[in-house]
Amino acid sequence: MLNKNAKLNPKLFDADLAERPTRDGYGEGLVAAGEADPNVVVLCADLTESTRSEAFAKRFPDRFFEVGVAEQNLATIASGLGVSGKIPFISSYATFSPGRNWEQIRTTISYNDSNVKVAGAHAGVSVGPDGATHQAIEDVATMRVMANMKVIVPCDATEAKKATMASAKMWGPVYLRFGRAAMPEFTTEATPFRVGKAEVFWESNGGQGKSKKPQVAIIGCGSLVHYALRAAKELEEEGIGTMVLNNHTIKPLDEDTILAAAETCGAVVTVEEHQVSGGLGGAVAEFLARTMPTPIEFIGMQGVFGESGEPKELISKYGMDVPDIKEAVKRVLKRKK
């Protein structure tokens, strides 16, 4: 059942649940952060409307910088601002930033612990018709290995706004990942959000006639957390109890909450719109391998590139839909036994 402390939208499972892209929350968060702190500045690489930096540019034109199609310059300019008392956010498609300018982010931002926030928009296969070249599915892996870098993947537009505002208030490099497609907006302003803290959104008993503890922990990030919740609801109706964690912060990982979930359930499924190598699944597996080896299954892109198509069709094609999560839960349960 839903965790009451999560304070999710009561229309969570309704067909008419509102949908918005997480990039919308980023745009709103930028304006709110700019209003709260005059040191917040925004830079963009010729994608102001698409990355939702436009609202900040209109509200604070003297604090917005259009760099043009020059992602390496975007990062390098921001690094100087970040060590000069400003709080720069740099915005582009994730395939270009951090994709094209990874070395500049590493050397000028992370190495110098510059106070820069990197916003990678249009991430995952849900970019849809733009196709494989614009579908960043490796970005979390490349950013989480970088020293000093924090990595946050909000689950919906409301949480994206919170993550953007929180990033402005903390020191150091941060990577924020956003999507293009409209996805369910199921958290609320009252839903807890703290960088580095995973939240339990769902916790059922072990199913009919079974232990009172959930049997599998589903650990997700991004818009697929909603898919995980839908899978958990259907599994509970089939007599299989689960726990669903919204693990928005990939780095630093909330090791205490993940360890507690693994100890309670004895089996884990990770869910992400990203390559299963090096992302959330990799982070969770690395941690559990050294603390509490646990049967684990990985939902995500299985070492392939995406293609053009409608967002939800691609999520289904590449094995990240509700039925796929349910099958992964059942597979890991067999291994657990």
β-sheet bridge partners, residue 202: 2, 244
Tens of pLDDT, residue by residue over 18-54, are: 999 999 999 999 999 999 999 999 999 999 999 999 9
Residues 109 and 75 sit within 8 Å (Cβ to Cβ): yes
- pLDDT (average), residues 315-336: 97
Least trusted range by pLDDT, from 114-123, 197-206, 266-275: 197-206
* The CATH number fitting domain 196-336, selected from 3.10.520.10, 3.40.50.920, 3.90.950.10, 2.40.128.30: 3.40.50.920
Tens of pLDDT, residue by residue over 285-325, are: 999 999 999 999 999 999 999 999 999 999 999 999 999 99
Residue 19 to residue 17: CA distance in whole angstroms: 7
Q: Is residue 208 predicted with pLDDT exceeding 80?
A: no
CATH fold of the domain at 19-184: Rossmann fold (3.40.50)
Q: Note the helical H segments in 11-138.
A: 22-36, 54-59, 71-82, 102-104
Residues 78 and 116 sit within 8 Å (Cβ to Cβ): yes
Residue 257 to residue 245: CA distance in whole angstroms: 9
| CATH 3.40.50.970 domain extents, the chain | 19-184
Q: Which pTM does this prediction carry?
A: 0.97
- Beta strand 183-184 with 19-20 is antiparallel
Taking the CA atoms of residue 72, residue 126, residue 143 and residue 34 in that order, the dihedral angle to the nearest 10 degrees is 70
- pLDDT (average), residues 116-125: 97
**Average pLDDT of every residue of the chain:** 96
Crossing angle between the packed helical segments 224-237 and 322-336, to the nearest 10 degrees = 60
Tens of pLDDT, residue by residue over 54-100, are: 999 999 999 999 999 999 999 999 999 999 999 999 999 999 999 99
Residues 96 and 75 sit within 8 Å (Cβ to Cβ): no
| CATH 3.40.50.920 domain extents, the chain | 196-336
Active site residues: 71
Least trusted range by pLDDT, from 4-8, 88-92, 209-213: 209-213
